[in-house]
């Protein structure tokens, strides 16, 4: 970090006339800009959209038809391509933000509310994953925790008869508890035995899947009187209430998501528990030496993270789905990981990333309906975005942006590498094992 | 083989680690490269060994210009290096470690193990090493691991052997063995470059001494120079090699450890019935070669390791059943051995590191929420007292130098109300200026009447600080002796010889270093 | 200055240091006795006795069929009286548990035969109970053949994971590599109307995913677990997208079924029970035998294996002896991806199926589990994968003959066992030391 700053500081001091100075100032600005995580994120989205566009073109029958006589009439190819992409992406936009082709004003603004509906479980679960990332734990178990959350919430939602407020509250708490238990298994095992949380949470995902499949075959559980592997719908009293009236699906879950975002910010940045979380994430040995109860904090990270994922599952079920089926979690668990990554594990970032990916989903539905582009392309966009934001140098290379140490010339880059090596060399950590 | 450097310059970004270095090592010469921590010695050697590529300058071997694109090239050209942190793979056997990269193979790349084993045995026999070719590296003591590294270099016909701080992990007697090996190699025509910051060693071992300071060669010296001369050359100013301190005025016993026994994770006894008493206003140093239980002793006292038997008493309270936090809160100030892994959290700000073990205490928090402004204020105040050079306390601590990071740790531990001070290797990796500061601070703490326990593997540091010295060997306290005990005696005790015998033996047999000391005095 | 004193002096030091010799006796006394395994054995034996034995209907018979229709020597079916059979097996288990407890108390070490034999008895007792009085045969050959079939992608996947992780690259993307292999195998086989072309193409898909993984890991130092997770999503997205567009638009051209033919090995395939299971297979399965055997030798005995392990354990040490760390990692991860891609071909051309969305269905994660349970050893991973395949096969067979145990429980078993394994229950799991750590030079 320090070295980048140093380099930036002395860059503008290059000798030369006023013009050169202005130029170097421009360089400086460009470099500053290319450092900004916002710019990297934006450019990653652009690259992902381009990749998506290429995929759409490659698989579109009309475009394929024009390639047949490309050399006779190249214009056809380009025109068709343009139209296909325009239609697809405008459908994506209209499905996600604002539909200017809609018949009524209500219909026109409905997409943005759909985006938020999709975003609710993504934000909640994304926050759960982000807490893990900040604490140095890779919680890959969002899927399982969401399933457990949804399962518990659903069961409470239809098996009990309670007054309006209490029923909803109980169902939400039950959902959070379900996720917390599922995350807690991984957390406690890591705390007690050092079991790698990545492996355990992956295994728990699959166990959750079979557990749900088994439950859905049990009559005492589904309470529907039919052999269909789907549970009874939750009572009205346990549903997250709508915020905008009929015609809109937006429910109180979004308030929950906002509250959770604020809570996670406070937890990580202001609370003593969050200090412990961040400490074990950065350096568990130093945390232990400073008297922090590392096993306890480890377990709590995954319990709280799992609880948030469970809450995400519960909100998804109580606000959107209402009925529990085998596919309740869809790809939410893995989407949540991408949300946390895109949000750089910061609460606000996660919130915004959740909205973005929720929008992609909402828009993807309309895009599929109107242009026949399969919604699976959203997965491609999502994964490309996340891969790119994880590798800023790649994004800079794609857009010919300068590297942090100045120009993109290779000798400099090697020097930077050497420097990193020197810093690494000063830390004896990895070789320490030998002498023990 | 003759090794020659001409104007070698190595930069990391804007920082120049080696500035136009000229150096000539004659065939069959033991050439010491002396410099402080961070002077650029290791960088220079890594450059010679092909790990870094220099920005400017030339490397010549037997007057022929060479360029290395990687360590492979350097080895090919006849350069061998024993790194300070051994480049050995714990789960490999000795044979596997030695042949790695130069495997004798039969058809289809299948390794000829018999041939590889034979090579190891041949070299071990030639130099009288006792190394089992089938032993696992992780099961070998450090001294034997070092011999494996030397075998590794020799098996590739190294004509220039670079040893990076080779004595850091050895007892004085093991050091003697190493010196013998080095002389044997010299006889056979191998040139040896020997990197160290220890003044005694260079004078006893080296044929020629080159001193490096802040990346520049500042002078050549002969082994006949005095330690003071070498020290001022190395540091660039007059240095007082010993810290001034008043004799201790020990009060009653403030801290004691009784029959402390600790098992390692694998169930081995690492501390065996250890008994220590430390009076108020006294510094007790624990000396010994790395890995003889000192680390475990410190960890057991703080509670990072649980004891199977014994008591740990501070001002009459038994701490053994307490967890780390409770022990710190009952008045232990602790400076851990490895600053970067245990002492600080690199990504945290200086402030956050300053409150690392009090973040949940008054006045920094109410137990649930933290009070950032109070934390910051305290950090600013205390840190200026400890002469820490930094931008602001809101910078990550990783932007500070090692010495300044250690000062932050000291500031954190000593600004609490402590009744016992425990430090493990408090000056490891620091420059001389910082070492002086740390030593002064510890002595001030002692003079306030705090019992101090300092674990150190550096005999210089032990002699400097200790009012009494406890020597440990294989988890046992071999004996407790006065602070001014002769180093040869300490060395023998570090190899497990009981006190009286150690005195008797030391009288008869001096180590090479011990003799050099005496010669210097006469 | 003379150094002739030195040798004697050191000898002196060593001889006088007797009092501080290692205190083995004290250590042995102080070490806690390891009760974990004996207690587990006892609990399982009691489960076998109480559930498998006493819940078997009295007088019922369990029938095992050992032959298939095409056997050269047809073995007769075996009828076992359920209660008595389960009782005998349970008592044997109890005896072994008692032995284990006795030996633990005396700190005597027992060989690996105990857990293996114990496991066999437990499984047999379970099968006797599950088939008791059902009136249907338990088809042993089908059971074993099914176990091997189900293990094929797991074994390929586990070998892929092993090669990658031994060189320091964590591979969570095995799932994606299998899926990509399945996809490309189906498409290539369909397009060229030859299953063998599909088989040739599959490794390239897996290797491409492996290449992406190692590119991000080595060049950009991105967290390898993250890249793996995201690559899985990417492959699912891409294959599903292409499936819904190109493959469904013209399934005759792009997604027609092709099957690798079975190639019975003359002689060997005639052996009762194991013959049809092991030696009447497609070339893909024979390739699997070759790969496992080759890795078993090469990982520990070849130059390639030694260097791979060095890079995975301590890359800097490898670098100092002239081994190119990034190149080694890239080569091995791409190679490993190829192995997984081959395994993916099993889903489509190996079984004669067309490509379907997400058809790898989590097998890549079980492969990962098998590799961990097998402690990064080809042999161990093979056994673990076979165990997982077997438990799934039992689940499938039992669900056809009707069983008191829900099939979901058996399907969960691999995951549960793996959790126990990483929690240190089955001894310490020690991954390559530099796994997942980018090497920055």
State mean pLDDT over C166-171: 94
Chain A from 177 to 206: CB within 8 A of any C CB: 189, 192-196, 198-200, 202-206
For A153-189, write each residue's pLDDT tens digit. Answer: 999 999 999 998 899 999 999 999 999 999 999 999 9
B144 touches chain C (CB under 8 A): no
A300 touches chain B (CB under 8 A): no
For A217-255, write each residue's pLDDT tens digit. Answer: 899 998 888 888 899 999 999 999 888 888 889 999 999
- Percentage of chain B exceeding pLDDT 70: 98
* Closest alpha carbon to A324 in A211, A418, A414: A211
Query: Which pLDDT score is estimated for C372?
Result: 87
Query: Which pLDDT score is estimated for A63?
Result: 87
Residue C417 within a domain: yes
Nearest to B369 among A270, A418, A429 (CB): A270
Query: Which pLDDT score is estimated for B507?
Result: 80
**Is the Cβ–Cβ distance between B218 and B239 less than 8 Å?**
no
pTM to 2 decimals? Answer: 0.86
For B378-420, write each residue's pLDDT tens digit. Answer: 999 888 888 888 888 898 998 888 888 988 999 999 888 899 9
In the predicted model, is pLDDT for residue A353 greater than 90? yes
pLDDT band at A5 (very low <50, low <70, confident <90, very high): very low
State mean pLDDT over B268-289: 91
- Percentage of chain A exceeding pLDDT 90: 63
CATH code assigned to B251-331+421-485: 3.40.50.300
**Is the Cβ–Cβ distance between B514 and B487 less than 8 Å?**
yes
Residue contact B88–C314, C-beta within 8 A: yes
Which of the pair, B1 or B103, is modelled with greater confidence? B103
DSSP H or E segment with residue B479: strand B476-482
In the predicted model, is pLDDT for residue B243 greater than 80? no
B265 touches chain A (CB under 8 A): no
The CATH topology of domain B3-235 is: Rossmann fold (3.40.50)
pLDDT band at B134 (very low <50, low <70, confident <90, very high): very high
Which of the pair, C399 or B298, is modelled with greater confidence? B298
For C254-270, write each residue's pLDDT tens digit. Answer: 999 999 998 988 888 88
Chain B residues with CB inside 8 Å of A10's CB?
14
Distance CA(B118)–CA(A362), nearest Å, equals 69
Query: Which pLDDT score is estimated for B517?
Result: 66
Q: How many CB atoms lie within 10 A of CB C59?
A: 10
Within 8 A by CB and 6+ apart from B522, the residues are: none
* Closest alpha carbon to C115 in C41, C59, C167: C41
For residue C179, give its domain range. 141-422
Burial C95-109 (b: 16+ CB within 10 A, else e): ebbeebbeebeeeee
A374 touches chain C (CB under 8 A): yes
- CA dist list (Å): B258 to B254, B322, B329: 13, 16, 21
In the predicted model, is pLDDT for residue A61 greater than 50? yes
pLDDT band at C71 (very low <50, low <70, confident <90, very high): low
**Is the Cβ–Cβ distance between C271 and C383 less than 8 Å?**
no
- φ/ψ bin of A403: left (φ > 0), alpha (ψ from -120 to 50), beta (otherwise): beta
Query: Which pLDDT score is estimated for C29?
Result: 59
Domain B3-235 shares a fold with domain B251-331+421-485: yes
- CA dist list (Å): A266 to A270, B264, B376, B466: 5, 40, 18, 48
Within 8 A by CB and 6+ apart from C25, the residues are: none
C13 touches chain B (CB under 8 A): yes
Q: Give Cα C54 distance to the centre of its chain.
A: 33
Residue C30 within a domain: no
Give the angle subtended at the CA of B248 by the CAs of B246 and B252, to the nearest 5°.
Answer: 155
CA distance C74 to chain A (A): 38
Query: Which pLDDT score is estimated for C379?
Result: 92
- Which of C8, C11, C17, C312 best probes binding to B when mutated, by most B CB atoms within 10 angstroms? C17
Residue ranges of the alpha helices (H) in C135-258? 140-166, 174-191, 195-214, 224-242, 248-249, 251-254
B88 touches chain C (CB under 8 A): yes
| C46 in the same domain as C192 | no
Token pair 């990653």 in the structure block, residue: A44
Which of the pair, B117 or A65, is modelled with greater confidence? B117
State mean pLDDT over C219-227: 92
Residue contact B341–A425, C-beta within 8 A: no
* Closest alpha carbon to B61 in B39, B35, B80, B82: B80
- CA dist list (Å): A108 to A111, A113, C427: 7, 10, 61
Which of the pair, A3 or C55, is modelled with greater confidence? C55
Distance CA(C132)–CA(C59), nearest Å, equals 9
pLDDT band at C426 (very low <50, low <70, confident <90, very high): low
Strand order in the sheet with B253-263: B269-279, B253-263, B309-314, B317-318
Distance CA(A22)–CA(A20), nearest Å, equals 5
Within 8 A by CB and 6+ apart from A346, the residues are: A130
In the predicted model, is pLDDT for residue A260 greater than 60? yes
In the predicted model, is pLDDT for residue C93 greater than 50? yes
State mean pLDDT over C307-327: 93
State mean pLDDT over C69-79: 67
Domains of chain B: which residue ranges? 3-235, 251-331+421-485, 342-416
3-state secondary structure B368-435: CEECHHHHHHHHHHHHHHCCCCCCCCCCEHHHCCHHHHHHHHHHHHHCCCCCEEEEECCCCCCCHHHH
In the predicted model, is pLDDT for residue C30 greater than 70? no
pLDDT band at A33 (very low <50, low <70, confident <90, very high): low
In the predicted model, is pLDDT for residue B162 greater than 80? yes
Chain C residues with CB inside 8 Å of B173's CB?
6, 9-10, 13
State mean pLDDT over B292-309: 90
pLDDT band at C219 (very low <50, low <70, confident <90, very high): very high
Chain A residues with CB inside 8 Å of B135's CB?
none
Residue contact A214–C408, C-beta within 8 A: yes
Instruction: Please provide the average confidence, as pLDDT, over all residues in chain A.
Output: 85
Residue C429 within a domain: no
- Which of B89, B289, B492 best probes binding to C when mutated, by most C CB atoms within 10 angstroms? B89
Chain A residues with CB inside 8 Å of C240's CB?
374, 376, 379
Quick one: tokens of A140? 């890959």
**Is the Cβ–Cβ distance between A157 and A371 less than 8 Å?**
no
CA distance B213 to chain C (A): 25
Distance CA(C268)–CA(C275), nearest Å, equals 6
Query: Which pLDDT score is estimated for C20?
Result: 39
Q: Are strands C262-264 and C61-65 parallel, antiparallel or unpaired?
A: unpaired
Query: Which pLDDT score is estimated for A8?
Result: 37
* Closest alpha carbon to B68 in B56, B80, B81, B54: B54
State mean pLDDT over B439-453: 92
Distance CA(A233)–CA(A222), nearest Å, equals 9
Closest-CA residue of chain B to A428: B85
Model ipTM value: 0.84
* Closest alpha carbon to B471 in A432, C13, A436: C13
In the predicted model, is pLDDT for residue C53 greater than 60? yes
- Which of A280, A417, A434, A436 best probes binding to B when mutated, by most B CB atoms within 10 angstroms? A434
Residue contact A272–B368, C-beta within 8 A: yes
Chains contacting chain C through 3 or more C-beta pairs under 8 A: A, B
B266 touches chain A (CB under 8 A): no
Residue contact C9–B505, C-beta within 8 A: yes
Query: Which pLDDT score is estimated for C155?
Result: 96
* Closest alpha carbon to B120 in B87, B140, B139, B147: B147
Q: What's the structural domain count of chain C?
A: 2
State mean pLDDT over A343-359: 94
Residue C10 within a domain: no
Residue contact B346–A283, C-beta within 8 A: yes
Which of the pair, C158 or B517, is modelled with greater confidence? C158
Nearest to B86 among A266, A415, A434 (CB): A434
3-state secondary structure of B9: strand
Residue contact C22–B268, C-beta within 8 A: yes
Quick one: tokens of C184? 């490309």
pLDDT band at A4 (very low <50, low <70, confident <90, very high): very low
- CA dist list (Å): C396 to A44, B144, C64, C139: 45, 56, 16, 12
C297 touches chain B (CB under 8 A): yes
For A116-135, write each residue's pLDDT tens digit. Answer: 999 999 999 999 999 999 99
In the predicted model, is pLDDT for residue C175 greater than 60? yes
Q: Are strands B309-314 and B317-318 parallel, antiparallel or unpaired?
A: antiparallel
Chain A residues with CB inside 8 Å of B327's CB?
291
- CA dist list (Å): C381 to B380, C171, C175, C356: 56, 15, 16, 28
Residue contact A425–B42, C-beta within 8 A: yes
| C385 in the same domain as C255 | yes
Distance CA(B371)–CA(B368), nearest Å, equals 10
**Is the Cβ–Cβ distance between A279 and A136 less than 8 Å?**
no
Residue contact C3–B176, C-beta within 8 A: yes
CA distance C197 to chain B (A): 28
| C289 in the same domain as C332 | yes
Chain C from 299 to 338: CB within 8 A of any B CB: 301-304, 306-307, 309-310, 313-314, 316-324
Token pair 């190996």 in the structure block, residue: C350
Residue C234 within a domain: yes
DSSP H or E segment with residue A413: helix A410-426
Which of the pair, C33 or A292, is modelled with greater confidence? A292
Query: Which pLDDT score is estimated for B165?
Result: 86
A161 touches chain B (CB under 8 A): no
Query: Which pLDDT score is estimated for B298?
Result: 93
* Closest alpha carbon to C51 in C109, C161, C128: C128
Query: Which pLDDT score is estimated for A231?
Result: 92
Sign of the C-alpha dihedral, residues B480, B483, B489, B494? Answer: positive
Query: Which pLDDT score is estimated for C25?
Result: 54
Q: Provide the residue count of chain B.
A: 522
- Which of A44, A215, A327, A374 best probes binding to C when mutated, by most C CB atoms within 10 angstroms? A374
CA distance C13 to chain A (A): 22
């Amino acid at each position: 970090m320090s070295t980048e700053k140093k380099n930036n500081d002395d860059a503008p001091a290059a000798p030369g006339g006023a013009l050169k100075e202005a130029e170097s100032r421009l360089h400086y600005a460009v470099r500053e800009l290319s450092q900004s995580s916002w710019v990297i994120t934006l450019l990653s989205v652009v690259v992902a959209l381009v990749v998506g566009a290429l995929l759409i073109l490659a698989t579109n029958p009309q475009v394929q038809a024009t390639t047949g006589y490309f050399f006779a009439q190249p214009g056809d190819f380009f025109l068709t391509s343009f139209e296909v992409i325009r239609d697809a992406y405008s459908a994506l936009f209209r499905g996600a933000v604002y539909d200017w082709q809609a018949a009524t004003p209500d219909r026109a603004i409905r997409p943005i509310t759909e985006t938020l509906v999709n975003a609710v479980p993504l934000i909640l679960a994304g926050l759960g994953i982000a807490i893990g990332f900040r604490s140095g734990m890779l919680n890959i178990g969002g899927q399982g925790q969401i399933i457990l959350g949804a399962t518990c919430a659903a069961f409470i939602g239809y098996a009990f008869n309670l007054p309006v407020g209490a029923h909803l509250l109980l169902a939400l708490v039950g959902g959070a508890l379900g996720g917390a238990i599922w995350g807690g298994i991984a957390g406690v095992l890591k705390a007690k035995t050092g079991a790698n949380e990545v492996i355990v949470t992956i295994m728990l995902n699959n166990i959750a899947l079979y557990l749900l499949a088994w439950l859905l075959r049990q009559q005492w559980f589904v309470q529907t009187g039919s052999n269909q592997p789907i549970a009874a719908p939750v009572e009205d009293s346990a549903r997250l209430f709508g915020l905008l009236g009929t015609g809109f699906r937006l429910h109180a879950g979004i308030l929950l998501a906002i509250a959770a975002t604020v809570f996670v910010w406070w937890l990580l940045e202001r609370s003593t528990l969050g200090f412990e979380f961040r400490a074990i994430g950065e350096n568990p040995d130093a945390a232990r030496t400073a008297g922090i109860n590392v096993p306890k904090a480890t377990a709590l990270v995954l319990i709280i993270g799992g609880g948030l994922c469970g809450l995400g599952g519960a909100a998804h079920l109580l606000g959107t789905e209402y009925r529990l089926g085998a596919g309740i979690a869809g790809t939410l668990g893995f989407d949540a990981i991408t949300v946390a990554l895109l949000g750089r594990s910061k609460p606000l970032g996660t919130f915004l990333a959740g909205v973005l990916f929720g929008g992609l989903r909402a828009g993807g539905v309309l895009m599929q309906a109107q242009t026949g582009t399969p919604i699976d392309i959203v997965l491609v966009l999502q994964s490309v975005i996340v891969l790119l934001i994880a590798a800023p140098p790649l994004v800079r290379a794609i857009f010919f942006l300068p590297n942090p140490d100045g120009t993109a010339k290779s000798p400099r880059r090697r020097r930077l590498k050497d420097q990193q090596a020197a810093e690494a060399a000063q830390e004896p950590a990895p070789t320490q094992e030998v002498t023990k | 083989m003759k090794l020659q450097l001409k104007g070698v310059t190595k930069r990391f970004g804007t920082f120049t680690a080696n500035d136009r270095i000229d150096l000539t090592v004659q065939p069959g010469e033991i050439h010491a490269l002396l410099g402080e921590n961070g002077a650029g010695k290791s960088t220079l050697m890594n450059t010679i060994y092909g790990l870094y590529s220099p920005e400017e300058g030339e490397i010549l071997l037997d007057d022929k210009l060479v360029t290395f694109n990687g360590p492979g090239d350097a080895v090919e050209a006849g350069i061998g290096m024993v790194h300070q942190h051994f480049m050995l793979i714990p789960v490999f056997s000795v044979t596997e470690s030695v042949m790695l990269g130069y495997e004798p193979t039969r058809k289809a790349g299948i390794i000829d193990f018999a041939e590889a084993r034979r090579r190891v045995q041949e070299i071990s026999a030639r130099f009288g090493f006792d190394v089992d070719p089938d032993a696992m590296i992780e099961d070998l003591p450090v001294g034997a691991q070092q011999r494996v590294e030397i075998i590794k270099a020799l098996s590739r016909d190294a004509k220039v052997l670079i040893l990076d701080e080779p004595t850091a992990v050895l007892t004085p007697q093991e050091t003697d063995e190493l010196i013998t090996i080095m002389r044997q190699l010299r006889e056979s025509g191998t040139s040896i470059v020997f990197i160290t910051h220890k003044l005694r060693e260079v004078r006893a071992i080296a044929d020629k001494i080159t001193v490096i300071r802040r990346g520049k060669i500042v002078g050549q010296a002969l082994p006949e120079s005095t330690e003071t001369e070498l020290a001022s050359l190395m540091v660039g100013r007059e240095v007082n090699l010993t810290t001034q301190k008043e004799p201790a005025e020990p009060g009653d016993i403030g801290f004691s450890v009784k029959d402390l026994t600790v098992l390692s994770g694998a169930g081995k006894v690492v501390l065996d019935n250890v008994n220590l008493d430390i009076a108020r206003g006294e510094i007790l140093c624990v000396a010994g070669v790395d890995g003889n239980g000192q680390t475990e002793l410190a960890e057991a006292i703080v509670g990072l390791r649980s004891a199977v038997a014994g008591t740990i008493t501070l001002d009459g309270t038994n701490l053994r059943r307490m967890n780390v936090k409770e022990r710190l809160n009952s008045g232990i100030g602790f400076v851990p051995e490895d600053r970067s892994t245990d002492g600080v959290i690199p990504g945290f700000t200086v402030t956050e590191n300053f409150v690392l073990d009090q973040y949940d205490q008054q006045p920094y928090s109410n137990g649930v929420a933290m009070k950032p402004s109070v934390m910051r204020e305290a950090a600013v105040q205390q840190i200026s007292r400890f002469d820490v050079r930094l931008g602001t306390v809101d910078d990550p601590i990783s932007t500070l130098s090692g010495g300044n990071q250690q000062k932050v740790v000291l500031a954190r531990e000593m600004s609490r109300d402590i009744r016992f001070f425990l430090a493990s290797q408090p000056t490891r990796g620091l420059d001389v200026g910082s070492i002086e500061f740390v030593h002064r601070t510890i002595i001030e703490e002692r003079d306030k009447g705090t019992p101090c326990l300092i674990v150190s593997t550096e005999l210089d540091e032990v002699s400097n600080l200790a009012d009494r010295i406890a020597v440990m060997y294989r988890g046992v306290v071999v004996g407790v002796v006065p602070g001014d005990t002769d180093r040869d005696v300490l060395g023998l005790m570090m190899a497990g010889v009981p006190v009286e015998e150690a005195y008797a033996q030391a009288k008869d047999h001096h180590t090479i270093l011990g003799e050099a000391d005496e010669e210097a005095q006469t | 200055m003379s150094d002739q004193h030195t040798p004697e002096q050191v000898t002196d030091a060593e001889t006088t240091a007797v009092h501080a010799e290692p205190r083995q006796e004290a250590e042995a006394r102080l070490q806690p006795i390891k009760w974990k395994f004996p207690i587990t054995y006892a609990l399982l034996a009691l489960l076998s006795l109480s559930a498998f034995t006493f819940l078997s209907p009295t007088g019922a018979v369990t029938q095992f069929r050992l032959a298939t229709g095409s056997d050269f020597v047809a073995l007769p079916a075996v009828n076992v009286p359920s209660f008595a059979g389960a009782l005998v097996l349970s008592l044997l288990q109890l005896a072994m548990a008692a032995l284990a407890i006795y030996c633990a108390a005396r700190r005597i070490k027992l060989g690996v035969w105990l857990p293996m034999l114990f496991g066999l008895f437990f499984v047999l007792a379970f099968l006797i109970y599950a088939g008791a009085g059902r009136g249907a045969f338990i088809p042993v050959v089908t059971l074993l053949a099914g176990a091997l079939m189900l293990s094929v992608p797991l074994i390929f996947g586990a070998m892929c994971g092993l090669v990658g992780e031994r060189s320091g690259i964590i591979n969570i993307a095995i799932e994606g590599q299998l899926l990509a292999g399945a996809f490309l195998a189906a498409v290539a086989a369909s397009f060229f109307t030859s299953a063998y072309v599909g088989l040739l193409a599959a490794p390239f898909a897996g290797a491409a995913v492996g290449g992406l993984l190692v590119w991000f890991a080595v060049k950009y130092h991105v967290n390898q677990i993250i890249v793996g997770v995201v690559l899985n999503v990417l492959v699912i997205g891409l294959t599903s997208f292409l499936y819904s567009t190109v493959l469904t638009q013209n399934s005759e051209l792009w997604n027609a079924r092709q099957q690798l033919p079975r190639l019975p090995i003359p002689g060997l395939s005639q052996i009762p029970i194991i013959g049809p299971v092991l030696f009447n297979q497609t070339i893909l399965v024979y390739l699997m035998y070759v790969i496992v055997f080759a890795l078993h030798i090469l990982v520990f005995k070849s130059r390639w294996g030694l260097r791979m392990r060095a890079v995975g354990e301590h890359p800097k040490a490898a670098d100092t002896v002239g081994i190119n760390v990034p190149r080694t990692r890239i080569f091995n991860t791409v190679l490993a991806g190829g192995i997984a891609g081959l395994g993916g071909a099993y889903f489509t051309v190996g079984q004669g199926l067309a490509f379907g969305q997400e058809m790898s269905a989590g097998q890549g994660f079980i492969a990962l589990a098998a590799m961990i349970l097998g402690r990064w050893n080809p042999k161990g991973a093979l056994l673990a994968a076979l165990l997982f395949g077997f438990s799934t096969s039992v689940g499938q067979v039992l669900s056809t003959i009707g069983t008191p145990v829900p099939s979901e429980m058996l399907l969960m078993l691999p995951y549960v066992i793996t959790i126990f394994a990483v929690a240190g229950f089955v001894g310490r799991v020690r991954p390559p030391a530099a796994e997942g750590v980018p090497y920055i030079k």
